[in-house]
Structure 1
Amino acid sequence: MRRFMGRAGAAVVAGLLLAGGMTGCGGEERTPRGVAAPVELPTEQPVEAAADEPSEAPPAVEAMGVAPSARPSASVRPGLTAKPRPKPTRTAAGPLAVPKPPTETRVPPPPPKPAPSGCQPSHKGTPATRSQVKAALADAAAKTYWPTSAPDIAIPLTLLKATAWQESGWQSDIVACDGGIGLMQVMPATADWMNQRFGESYDIDDYRDNAYLGANYLAWLTKYIGDMYFESDYRLDASLCTAELDSCLLNAVISAFNYGHGAVARDGEPLAVPNPQYVRNVRALMTECVCLSY
């Protein structure tokens, strides 16, 4: 969501990765974030900090967010009936070389301009506790975001936890220099777009709604990219990935959360992963993050 929604300030990835275990999140077609948190990568996946990938630096870690609002969550909105869909039967390896034209016309807004160099993130509100953040992420991961057209889309809890750590270090009160807000570093313009697109009223400053916004964006990216390149096979399964980062939907969704859908899924063009470092960070955090034990 950083590019996509919110990014906090940029930090040096290599050092943080070796330090082992925390980092931050994205917005639309994103540019470098800025809140950094150390990440511990598996030894078999060396990471090189590329000069042309400033947004890959993990966000910094400092605190967490605004007082929660008492809002119950629902898996399916009233009036919407989930229609069963057949399980994926696709056997082809990797994405389509020539994608199907996108059918979604209501896309997220363009990414913000890069944050000034040297800018430090700020904080506002009262930070949520780790247990509150953990519960919010679990609730957001359990929700069905496409109950009618794609009820089988599910956001893995490990993906949501890892992305939130990469984006903010689970700091619900952090505000990045590029405008990214809170736990999932949601951009205000992206939050407005999602509320209009899905008929919701999420409060970007509430840590629970912020978690919903991040998960909802991941779900939207899953459907958008899944329809174009994976023949509506929406499985975010790490076992479907190979050593090539552009080989699976999971990596593509992680990449787009940071850089935006337009940098990853382009009409008539092969699937792209322009931010390999960010993808490696989040993939590593999905199995190695200290946050998984909270």
Structure 2
Amino acid sequence: MRRYRSAVVAAVLVVVGVAGCAREGTRAQEPAAAVAPAEATGEATGDVAAVPTSAPPPTAPGRESMGAAPARSASAKPSPKPTVKPTRATAPRAVAKPPTETKVPPPPPKPSSTACKPRYVGTQATRAQAGAALADAAARVYWPTSAPDIRIPPALVKATAWQESGWQSNIVACDGGIGLMQVMPATAEWMNQRFEQSYDIDDYRDNAYLGANYLAWLTKYIGDMYFEQDYRLEAGLCTAELDSCLLNAVIAAYNYGHGAVAREGRPLTVPNPQYVRNVRALMTECVCLDY
């Protein structure tokens, strides 16, 4: 009997020891907290730097992007982190500040006769070539020193080119506009002097740079006057009112000139609402976005 009781006690001790080892093994297999990798930073120098940027945030689909920003879905996490309230302006000032730039591009020409037909010069670039040139132009940083956070969305550059020329790189319009972005010769000459460049308006790649550079100039010019140097060109910042956001103002000014949209001491104006709506729709629905 003594030997029997000793054997039972020994068996119980073995079972307890195994259970303790199993609990220790479970703790050992718990994953350690993940450590986020450090993010590299850098700053471009020079007047115009060919620095590719990260992909822009997705825009709201089609007609929804013309109204208020879509509501975000509730987070599935039980205790989400508190969001930081934006400190930058999202609506334009009631009246414009004095412009920071005193040397401005020439005003756009008067509308040409409807009877006039455009002409074509040289060889037309393929859609693939045009798309690559426009994407490269959007990826550049045009204000690396004074406004390095200005980014021109690729969809905006492609949609503007489609609205202006249908991506016909060799077209010359009746009013003198040339190429993909329908850049006026006087505007190209002014921008080459302003940014100390030598873009060739007849080359479809340089034409794309000229158009994107002009969009960047308008972004800074209007952003300084009305948006407290908030240069975000995001559709989600726009409301149903066309004069509510920088994106709509820049689109309008590309077509009508900066002076028709932004004037010192006056509210922001969108004189060409149909043009703005066309480009905004193309930014989400254009077949050109596939190139």
Instruction: Please give the TM-score of this superposition, normalised by the length of structure 1.
Output: 0.70
1:228 paired residue number: 225
Name the CA distance, whole Å, in 1 between partners of 2:121 and 2:104. Answer: 29
Matches within 5 A, 1:37-186: 77=46, 89-90=86-87, 92-186=89-183
Pairing 1:286–2:283 present = yes
Residue 199 to residue 179, structure 1, CA distance change in 2 (3 Å): same
Name the CA distance, whole Å, in 2 between partners of 1:152 and 1:101. Answer: 21
Name the CA distance, whole Å, in 2 between partners of 1:251 and 1:203. Answer: 28
Name the CA distance, whole Å, in 2 between partners of 1:228 and 1:101. Answer: 6
Shift of 1:112: 1.4
Report Cα offsets for 1:48-99 as digits up to 9, x if no partner.
xxxxxxxxxxxxxxxxxxxxxxxxxxx754898x9xxxxx944554200021
Higher RCO (C-alpha 8 Å, min separation 6): 1
Contact 2:45 2:145 in 1 (8 A): no
Contact 1:109 1:189 in 2 (8 A): yes
Shift of 1:177: 0.2
SS at the partner of 1:201? Answer: coil
Name the CA distance, whole Å, in 1 between partners of 2:91 and 2:276. Answer: 17
Contact 1:123 1:173 in 2 (8 A): yes
Name the CA distance, whole Å, in 2 between partners of 1:169 and 1:79. Answer: 27
Counterpart residue type for residue 264 of structure 1:
V
Residue 111 to residue 274, structure 1, CA distance change in 2 (3 Å): same
Contact 1:90 1:231 in 2 (8 A): no
Report Cα offsets for 1:243-281 as digits up to 9, x if no partner.
000000000000000000000001100000000000000
Name the CA distance, whole Å, in 1 between partners of 2:48 and 2:285. Answer: 40
Equivalent in 213, 216, 239 of residue 216 of structure 1: 213
Name the CA distance, whole Å, in 2 between partners of 1:79 and 1:152. Answer: 13
* Percentage of pairs with the same residue: 78
Name the CA distance, whole Å, in 2 between partners of 1:250 and 1:79. Answer: 22
Unaligned runs of 5+ in 2: 1-43, 52-84
Shift of 1:110: 1.8
Equivalent in 233, 256, 265 of residue 259 of structure 1: 256
Contact 1:76 1:143 in 2 (8 A): no
Counterpart residue type for residue 279 of structure 1:
V
1:242 paired residue number: 239
Report Cα offsets for 1:133-179 as digits up to 9, x if no partner.
01101110000000000000000000000000000000000000000
Contact 1:226 1:234 in 2 (8 A): yes
SS at the partner of 1:126? Answer: coil
Counterpart residue type for residue 251 of structure 2:
I
Q: Where in structure 1 do 4 or more consecutive aligned residues deviate above 6 Å?
A: none
Name the CA distance, whole Å, in 2 between partners of 1:187 and 1:148. Answer: 27
Counterpart residue type for residue 202 of structure 1:
Y
Shift of 1:117: 2.5
1:199 paired residue number: 196
Contact 2:47 2:142 in 1 (8 A): no
Unaligned runs of 5+ in 1: 1-74, 83-87
